[in-house]
Structure 1
Amino acid sequence: MNIHIPEYVSGHGLLKDKSVLITAAAGVGIGFSAATRAVEEGCRAIVISDIHEGRLNEAVDKLKSETGLESVWGNVCNVAVEEDVQALIAFAEEQTGGVDVLINNAGLGTSKLLIDMEDPEWNKVIDVTLNGTMRMTRQMMRVMKTRGQGVIVNNASVLGWRAQKEQAHYAAAKAGVMALTRCAALEAADFGVRINAVAPSLAVHPMLKKSAPEALLKELESREAYGRGAEVWEVANIMMFLASDYSSYLTGEIISCSSQRA
């Protein structure tokens, strides 16, 4: 078992001169890490979105100050609302001069046994995690089709493949994201757009440490191949690969980020 955390990897210009749009990127998790990595990989402009306006404004300021890139914008968006999705993409298109890369990071999860779950809780997780990804993908495909190029990267989960108690709604949503990725990729290939997804296992960030019981975290970490959860930037690195020209012949694929032992 290797619990060593590697040193942070410096950027190599994977997204040089690209423009990027990332949903749910104003927190301390994968979304903001992906935004930071995108700038470190040379993107020329970036738009991040979130449902929380105050946190979004702070994230924009932080991204600018930490990276030195001035072409950073924020736009409030609830991916469960079609009008918000259309407005976000229109805003990003105008500010960047055309979005080259969309990273769909928005998702929602709770923990509850299916037998105790009511329809509203099920529907909310599905609507944000699956339907929200579909709305963003659908509208971005329409825009990218006119240019004949572009890349979409979705955030799925290994729970789309494997079972876990109290996660029926989240697992169903992420399995749907995987199927959406594969099917949309075939359509988008006709006009030069690639669509792939990353499926993280356990990604550790401050909010998770704060909200999850310590005993549960230790149990989940013990199941991982490396005996630890992934750093959020390790997941973001895979997103950068999928967003870059290094994966030019890769579409409709789901890349798992670590996996359980047994």
Structure 2
Amino acid sequence: MYDVKNPQYVEGKNLIAGKSVLITAAAGAGIGGSAAKRAIEEGARALVISDVHEGRLEKSVAELKELTGKDNVWGKLCNVCDEDEVQALIAFSEEKLGGVDILINNAGLGTSKELIDMEDSEWDKVIQVTLYGTMRMTRHMMRVMKERGEGGVIVNNASVLGWRAQKEQAHYAAAKAGVMALTRCAALEAAEFNVRINAVAPSIAMHPMLRKSAPADLLAELEAKEAFGRAAEVWEVANVMMFLASDYSSYLTGEIISTSSQRA
């Protein structure tokens, strides 16, 4: 019997068999790294991951190759705040993958600070990475997919804070609400050339960085509010990304799928 409070890792079902995938901010143990591993387990034929940390990126590419036994995994440094680097990443991915079938926009930045004490620079940094970065990747990928004429899928990483209020998160919540609006509007435009765009909106997803940086009492409080009394595992969020990237969601576009079970 499946235990919702103690989930067991689900084996891949070839949901994206034969597809090529590009994932931003995918080096490490977070949602992006889990999505990269899951993409290969779900049958992706080739994968490019990007990040801003060169050492971590090289290590992640090596680990993915060793873990999966596949050589067709590449890494490319990219700061999504830089339009030239965004274009270079997509050009690199198009060449290595023979065309990007699926883009997963995972890059985002969050900090905690009350709005009354926040400087413009602190606000701008979060907005630049989380909202503008997603916009730049989506915009250029739409252009490339439209010109190629073979359709495609874009999956954005939003957050339940795009809907829900939380102290010290005004900048992050505003950015993620923007990602949601971007997803809906871009999806209507992209539908004209056979591209679907959706987003996942995680609540609390447990990964090493969060466990290390967030106060233990805050984590306990947030987890207690969830219906299952726990945070999501990062691979559970990646599973939803794979569903949105797959043909099982062929009639979904402009939708935001929440992985939260919080009731209040």
Report if TM-score (shorter chain) is over 0.5: yes
CA contact (8 A) 2:126 2:171 kept: yes
CA contact (8 A) 2:5 2:229 kept: no
**CA–CA distance in structure 2, aligned partners of residues 121 and 19 of structure 1:** 35
CA contact (8 A) 2:201 2:258 kept: yes
RMSD of Structure 2 on Structure 1 (CA): 0.9
CA contact (8 A) 1:104 1:154 kept: yes
CA contact (8 A) 1:154 1:181 kept: yes
Residue of structure 2 equivalent to 1:207:
209
Query: For 1:105-184, what aligned pairs fall within 5 Å after superposition?
Result: 105-148=106-149, 149-184=151-186
Relative to 1, partners in 2 of residues 1:3 and 1:220: Cα closer, same or farther, differing over 3 Å? farther
Residue of structure 2 equivalent to 1:59:
60
Residue of structure 1 equivalent to 2:8:
7
Residue of structure 2 equivalent to 1:185:
187
Amino acid at match of 1:117: M
Amino acid at match of 2:182: L
Report deviation, 1:147: 2.7
Q: TM-score, normalised by structure 2?
A: 0.98
**CA–CA distance in structure 2, aligned partners of residues 59 and 132 of structure 1:** 22
**CA–CA distance in structure 1, aligned partners of residues 153 and 87 of structure 2:** 18
**CA–CA distance in structure 2, aligned partners of residues 5 and 14 of structure 1:** 24
Residues 90-114 of structure 1: per-residue CA shift (max 9 Å, x gap): 0000001000000000000000000
**CA–CA distance in structure 2, aligned partners of residues 118 and 23 of structure 1:** 27
What SS does the corresponding residue of 2:193 show, helix, strand or coil?
A: coil
What SS does the corresponding residue of 1:103 show, helix, strand or coil?
A: strand
Report deviation, 1:119: 0.2
Structure 2's unaligned 5+ residue stretches are: none
Q: TM-score, normalised by structure 1?
A: 0.98
What SS does the corresponding residue of 1:174 show, helix, strand or coil?
A: helix
Residues 208-233 of structure 1: per-residue CA shift (max 9 Å, x gap): 11111111110110111111000000
Residue of structure 2 equivalent to 1:70:
71
Residue of structure 1 equivalent to 2:240:
238
**CA–CA distance in structure 1, aligned partners of residues 148 and 109 of structure 2:** 32
CA contact (8 A) 1:57 1:74 kept: yes
Amino acid at match of 2:51: D
Structure 1 window deviating more from structure 2 (5-14 vs 186-195): it is 5-14
Residue of structure 2 equivalent to 1:81:
82
Does 1:227 find its partner at 2:229?
Answer: yes
- Which of 225, 246, 249 pairs up with 1:247? 249
Residue of structure 1 equivalent to 2:27:
26
What SS does the corresponding residue of 2:43 show, helix, strand or coil?
A: coil
**CA–CA distance in structure 2, aligned partners of residues 115 and 5 of structure 1:** 40
What SS does the corresponding residue of 1:201 show, helix, strand or coil?
A: coil
Report deviation, 1:193: 0.2
> Moved runs in structure 1, 4+ residues, more than 4 A?
none
Amino acid at match of 2:93: A
Amino acid at match of 2:56: R
What SS does the corresponding residue of 1:153 show, helix, strand or coil?
A: strand
Structure 1 window deviating more from structure 2 (126-135 vs 250-259): it is 250-259
Amino acid at match of 1:162: R
Report deviation, 1:3: 6.2
**CA–CA distance in structure 2, aligned partners of residues 109 and 103 of structure 1:** 18
CA contact (8 A) 1:153 1:197 kept: yes
**CA–CA distance in structure 2, aligned partners of residues 166 and 3 of structure 1:** 30
CA contact (8 A) 1:3 1:227 kept: no
Amino acid at match of 1:193: V
CA contact (8 A) 1:3 1:228 kept: no
